[in-house]
Structure 1
Amino acid sequence: MTIKLENVGIAVRDLEAAIAFFTDLGLEVMGRDTVSGEWTDTAVGLDGNHAHIAMLRTPDGAGVLELFEYVHPEAIETEPTRPNEIGMHRVAFSVDDLDAALAVAARHGCHPLRGVATYEDVYRLTYVRGPSGIIVMLAEALQKG
C-alpha cells in the first residue's frame, strides 16, 4: 500500500478573506467550486452538505490547502484553537523572508501570537493567527543554501 498526502482542509468563515491571505503569502489558486449533493453528504457525513471550496498550492507544488466555507449546514463558530489543544493545530510554511511574510500577514490584520523566536541557529519562526482563527506558522531558515 502506498500513501500520499493530498491536502489539508480548513473550514473558514469567509472564503474570500482566506484566499486573499494565503495568495498574498504566495500560494496559488488551483481551482474553485461549489459542492453539494448525495456524494458530498456521504463523503463528509453531513446531510445537505453544501460548501464553496478553493484549492490552493504552494509555488513549489508540494503543499495543497483546501479551504471551504459552508453554506449548509450552517458553519459552527468555535473559539480559536490554542497551541496546546488536542486536534488540528496549525499549518506551517517555510518562507525566504520572514519579515516580508509578516508584513503581508499584518495587512490582513494577522500578527504573531507573541513574537518572533529563533530556534537554535536554524530558524526564525513565529505563529500568527490567520483568517478564521487559523494558526499559521511561518519559518525562515537562517542558513540559506
Structure 2
Amino acid sequence: MIKNTRHTGIVVRDLDRAFRFYEALGFKLWKREVESGDFISTVVGIENVKVETAKLKAPDNSMLELLQYHSHPKEKEIVNAPSNQLGCSHIAFSVIDIDKTCDFILQQGGSLVNPPALSANGLVKVAYCHDPEGVLLELVEEIM
C-alpha cells in the first residue's frame, strides 16, 4: 500500500509571501509551476482550474507544496486554526533553536499558541504556533 509520504499541501492566498516565509525557515525551492488543463482539473475536481504551486524541500528532503488557486480563489478571513479542528491538525517541524524560530514566526506575522514548553520527560521543548496564513505548526527542539 503506502510507500512513503510524498508531500504536505497548503493552500495560500499569496504564494510569494508564503514561499518567503517557509524559505526563511530552511526550505529550498525544488519546483515552481502553473498548472491548468484537463489533467489538473480532474485531479482537484475543479473545472477550468489554474493553480500555481511551489514545491519546497526541507533539509531532510521531506516536501511541502504551497498552492495558490488563481482561477478559483477562496476569500475568507484568516483565522488561526485551532489544535482540535477535525481533519488535518498541524504540521510538525524539528528545529535547531525553538526560541529563535518562535521569534522569527512572530516577526513574519505569525502567532504563538504557547511559548516553548519543556516536556515532562525533559527530552524536548515544544511550541504550537501559526504561520501568517493561520496554518497550525508544531515546533520541536530535541534537548541533548
- When the two structures are superposed, what TM-score results if normalisation uses the length of structure 1? 0.90
1:116 deviates by 1.8
Report the 3-state secondary structure (helix = DSSP H, G, I; strand = E; otherwise coil) of the residue aligned with 2:4: coil
Q: Is the 8 A contact 2:12 2:18 kept in 1?
A: yes
The one-letter code sitting in structure 1 at the alignment partner of 2:137 is: V
- Percent identity of paired positions between Structure 1 and Structure 2: 28
Unaligned runs of 5+ in 2: none
Change (3 A) 1:81 1:2: closer
2:70 counterpart SS class: strand
CA deviation digits over 1:90-141, x for unaligned, max 9?
1110011111212221220223113221112011111111021111111100
Partner SS, residue 131 of structure 1: coil
Contact kept? 1:51, 1:71, Cα under 8 Å: yes
In structure 1, runs of 5+ residues without a counterpart are none
Whole-Å separation in 2 of the counterparts to 1:60 and 1:53: 20
2:131 is the alignment partner of 1:130: yes
> What is the Cα deviation at residue 64 of structure 1?
0.4
Q: CA distance change for structure 1 residues 47 and 106 in 2, over 3 Å: closer, same or farther?
A: same
- What one-letter code is carried by the residue in structure 2 that aligns with 1:129? H
SS at match of 2:100: helix
Q: CA deviation at 1:57?
A: 1.0
How far apart in 2 are the matches of 1:2 and 1:142? Answer: 32
Aligned residue in 2 for 1:142: 143
Provide the alpha-carbon RMSD of the alignment: 1.4
Q: How many residue pairs were aligned?
A: 142
Q: How does 1:1-145 map to 2 (within 5 A)?
A: 1-61=1-61, 63-77=62-76, 79-120=79-120, 121-143=122-144
Question: Any conservation in 1 of the 2:125–2:141 contact (CA below 8 Å)?
Answer: yes
Report SS of the residue matched to 1:33: strand
- What is the TM-score normalised by the length of structure 2? 0.91
CA distance, structure 2, for counterparts of residue 122 and residue 37 of structure 1? 49
